[in-house]
Amino acid sequence: MVFNSYSFALFFVLLLVLHNLPLPWKVKKINLLLASYLFYSLWNPPFILLLWLSTVVDFYAARLIAREQRPMPRKLLLTISLVLNLGMLSYFKYGGFLLENFTLLLSSVGIAFQATKPDIILPVGISFYTFVTLSYTLDVYRRKTEPEPSFLNFALFVTYFPHLVAGPIVRPEDLIPQFKEPHRATTQQMTWGLFLLSLGLFMKVVVADTLLASSADTVFGVPFPVQPLDAWMGVMAFSGQIFCDFAGYSTCAIGISLCLGFILPDNFRYPYAAIGFSDFWRRWHITLSTWLRDYLYIPLGGNRKGNVRTYINLMITMLLGGLWHGASWNFVIWGGLHGIFLCAERLIREWTGRRQRSFAGKNQADPGLTGSMAQASMVPVSLNGKLGNFGLALLTLLLVDITWVFFRAPDFGSAMKILLCMFGVIPNGPAMLTSLDILKVSSVTVVLISCHWLMRDSSLVQLGKRMPWWLLSLVWTAMLILLILTQKTSNSFIYFQF
Amino acid sequence: MHMNSLSKAGILTLIFVLTFVVGWELYWRSQHLALSYNDDESLWAHTRKEIYQTSPSRPVLIGSSRVKFDLDLEAWQRVTGEKPVQLALVGTSPRPLLNDLANDPNFKGTVIIDVTEGLFFTPDGSFPEREATKRVEFYPKWSLSQQLSFHINHLLEDHLYFLDEERLSLQPLLTDLPVPPRPDTWGGPKFPKEFVVNRFDRQSTMTDAMVADTSIQNKVKAMWLEIGGHSPKQGVDGPLLTAILNSVKQSVDQIRARGGKVIFVRMPSDGPFHEAEKMGYPREKYWDRLLAHTQTAGIHFEDYPVLSKYQCPEWSHLAPKDAITFTEDIIPILQQKTGWFINRNGAKTPATTASLSNHQ
């Protein structure tokens, strides 16, 4: 079931009614759990078995891990959980990819091997709920959290429908404590939740699907080069589309959950106003980047094992983060590029830090140097000022957009073709986008960047508090009217495939 | 924001939105547009479910827009007592649909294939072929959730005129904006809103305004000329054509091997549209070769005075009234041509075989 469908609207209304009836808290939780299973099974009922398997194994594995004091059996239990979760993920998500690359490897050494392409359907949301259950088992293993004694609470933590298929990737401490006490949305939470749901649907249905998707599909779908303007517009369209699609989903999820009285963590914080890549990853898919930081980067050693290891750890984390998005080398390249940019940024920061330190040392001996160094750093504009920061944010977005080419293109060749078109190396392709397409993409891009820049140090809640109520109502009305006008329902969210 | 302020914003929003919906609905009703259903992938999938109880009296129709306009399903039902299963898709090639029926081991019914040469003989990967393939691929993925949404949407569409994605949603409304065109690009045809409405059984029909107003008809004719300007002037040839014919034959043979029945039909067209079709797709090279290669019967409207007497208001499709008589006229020809038993219990006076030509 997708949030932008009539079936979900019916489901949600019925669930809200049920959740607000004077029933015991345990019954309400059972209702939520059954509703979550129904929500999931309406895609492909058999895959609910995988969800059950993951839930049951991790619940009992964590209990046994907590009870066991000896290191080896604890490791063994953790390994069982990891093998099961990552094994399912590998089979369903990477089975075909691994086989394809194995075949290529054999043929490269002269062994002719032709395997039948496996007909594997990817269970919706498997990457997300696998990370949710893994975080629980790993936290229990590290004694960061106690195992949850109630199977109902744990099953609801894993299966809770707002986050189940596309995040935010929740941690045990985010949700389980909320399930222990009766929760019901206050009027304020309900209204704000409905506003967030409207905003999320607006972002997905109106902006991503209606204003941007067709331009991105056109440019990335043609097998021949296009004009540089079209290539840039296609990439900008996808850049806006993927943000509005994914952040739209997260906003819907947070809003829906709030209507039920539960708070989910933020997943996006105006990423297209990020200054640099480490800032970008503090703002984009926050629950994934913190998951990778806590369960991959830091266990690898993080920045505690010297400079070289830090860069290696960064690259490993980003390459695997890329692969998490999909079974394709393009995703690995996308992750790799982000890794390289993060490393480059770190290098620049270290170099600048060293320069500043040595300059500060010299400055004590020769105060006249201050002015000339300051002048040297003001080319072309001061990077400390607002304009300089805005320039750096635009540069970051430009580089992020270049990485999106690999994310969206169907293969490496197509990605290179688009990049060559963007930078005028192939200048003579045909024009593909109409004036209206260009108008839509450029308008949305300008509005999006402006909103992100203006909101980068703020939040929707703060904005809502500052706005007069009638203005909030006008904005809300405009979004809903456009949503009703669009009439597009049931388009899947891009991140469902991951 | 205080709780009171948020509640006030929510209530005011509700009032604004409800007012808009009522006003928007009344506005479109005042424009005398007939109610139209979204002919989307869900409606197609819903119809696709019906193929397993088909017979010569209740055939599956595949093809392009002509069979959707020209064969009136209710008229057919009045004659045979049963309504055909309309699977044709506007602006697409029926070959992916034929292939889909051929590959479905449970399908043993009757297929009438509308041949519009410019769409039928398009290679794999071309736009008309791709669009039809999308529908075929959607059907097995039509989830329970999407099916539920479809039925809820149906309830709403029955009563709300403005729920018309093809004509009245944001996308077509934006397309109507007076934005100057970019040189060397084409955003696709912009048909007038009055051209066509879709019924829930997937029948397409011209609106009364379209039938009555020649200026609207001229706008559609202008669109055909525009489409013609962006289409290949000559049809596929050589090995590509042979490959298409071979794939059609394979599908037809698969259906026949299970006891199914197949016939090709060439629906009427006239004016410059028909002239361009004759030049781009000469009959002997495409239609005649198709019938010979697949060893299948075909009905070409030009061969039967009773079918070629019609004029298309916009050169390519029949007006609703003509579609009714055309349907009544083609049923006896189908029966005579194939020897199939078509139940005609509710039939009006059938056309006599004397009025039929004996052409292939």
Give the structural domain span for A60.
Answer: 21-183
Assigned token pair, A95? 């089975």
8 Å CB contact between B128 and B236: no
- Cα dihedral value A200, A206, A208, A213, nearest 10: 160
Strand, helix or coil at A377?
coil
B286-293: average pLDDT: 94
Q: For residue B266, what are the β-bridge partners? A: B300
Segments in chain B forming alpha helices (H): 3-30, 41-48, 65-70, 73-80, 95-103, 117-120, 127-138, 144-157, 165-168, 170-175, 208-212, 214-229, 238-257, 271-280, 287-294, 305-308, 320-338
- Window B:124-163, CB contacts with A under 8 Å: 143-146, 148-149, 152-153, 156, 163
A324 within 8 A of A289, measured Cβ to Cβ: no
- Both A141 and A219 in a single domain? no
- What is the rounded distance in angstroms from the CA atom of residue A283 to the CA atom of residue A297? 18
Query: Within chain B, how many helices (H) and strands (E) appear?
Result: 17, 7
pLDDT greater than 50 at residue A231: yes
Residue B230 counted as domain residue: yes
- Which residue type does B341 have? F
- A446 & A345 share domain: yes
What percent of chain A has pLDDT above 90?
63
Out of A168, A183, A198, pick the residue that ends a domain: A183
Work out the minimum CA distance from A332 to partner chain B, whole angstroms: 28
Q: What is the DSSP letter of B196?
A: E
Same domain, A208 and A165: no
Mean model confidence pLDDT for chain B: 89
Specify if B262 maps to a domain: yes
- A194 contacts: CB under 8 Å, gap ≥ 6: A255, A259, B10
Residues of chain B positioned with their CB less than 8 A from the CB of A484? 17, 20-21, 24
Q: Residue A56 falls within a domain, yes or no?
A: yes
CATH for B47: 3.40.50.1110
Interface ipTM > 0.90: no
Cβ contacts of residue A141 below 8 Å, gap of 6+? A62, A65, A74, A78
C-alpha closest to that of B193 among B206, B179, B180: B206
In a domain, B44, yes or no: yes
Q: Does A437 touch chain B (CB under 8 A)?
A: yes
- Judged by CB atoms closer than 8 Å, whether chains meet at A480 and B144 is answered as no
Q: How does pLDDT run across B334-348, given as a tens digit for each residue?
A: 988 888 877 776 544
A488, B169: Cβ pair inside 8 Å? yes
pLDDT at A234 (0 to 100): 96
pLDDT of residue B348: 47
Cα A472 to chain center, whole Å? 27
Task: Give me the number of domains chain A comprises.
Answer: 2
Give the minimum alpha-carbon distance from A334 to chain B in angstroms, rounded to a whole number. 28
Interface size between A and B, measured as CB pairs under 8 A: 140
Domain tally, chain B: 1
Instruction: Please tell me the predicted confidence (pLDDT) of residue B340.
Output: 80
Q: Which residue of B has its CA nearest to A472?
A: B9
Nearest to A469 by CA among A164, A188, A111: A188
What dihedral angle (degrees, nearest 10) is formed by the CA atoms of B94, B100, B105, B109?
A: -20
Q: A431: closest CA among B183, B153, B313?
A: B183
Q: What number is the average pLDDT over the span A101-124?
A: 74
Please state, rounded to an integer, the average pLDDT across all residues of chain A.
88
CB contacts of B140 in chain A (<8 Å) are none
Give the A window 453-472 contacts with B, CB below 8 Å.
464-465, 467, 469-470, 472
Residue A493: predicted pLDDT: 63
Residues A172 and A234 in one domain: no
Residues A465 and A431 in one domain: yes
Residues A33-64: pLDDT tens digits?
Answer: 999 999 998 887 888 888 899 899 999 999 99
What's the count of helices (H) and strands (E) in chain A, helices before strands? 22, 0
Q: Using an 8 Å CB-CB cutoff, list chain A residues near B156.
A: 6
Which range of residues forms the domain containing residue B326?
31-177+191-355
Nearest to B9 among A187, A435, A476 (CB): A476
A 402-431 near B (Cβ less than 8 A): 430-431
Secondary structure of residue B56 in the 3-state scheme: coil
Q: Is there a domain that residue A31 lies in?
A: yes
Do A133 and A157 touch, CB atoms closer than 8 A?
A: no
- Is A376 inside any structural domain? no
A331 and A389, same structural domain?
Answer: yes
- Tokens representing B211 are 């039938």
What residue of A is the nearest CA neighbor of B165? A487
Q: Chain B residues with CB inside 8 Å of A480's CB?
A: 13, 17
- Within-domain flag for B24: no
User: Final residue of a domain: which of A157, A183, A209?
Assistant: A183
In the numeric block, which tokens belong to residue B3? 């709780």
SS3 at position B133: helix
Interchain contact, A434 vs B180, CB within 8 Å = no
Residue B7 lies in a domain: no
Verify whether the Cβ–Cβ distance B21 to A42 is below 8 Å.
no
Burial-class residue A50 by CB neighbours within 10 Å (0-12, 13-18, 19+): middle
Does residue B140 form part of some domain? Answer: yes
Residues 6+ apart with CB under 8 A from A183: A260, A261, A262
Q: Which residues of A are catalytic?
A: 325
Considering the domain architecture, whether residues A299 and A335 belong to the same structural domain is answered as yes
User: Quick check: A374 pLDDT over 50?
Assistant: no
Residue A137 shares a structural domain with residue A195: no
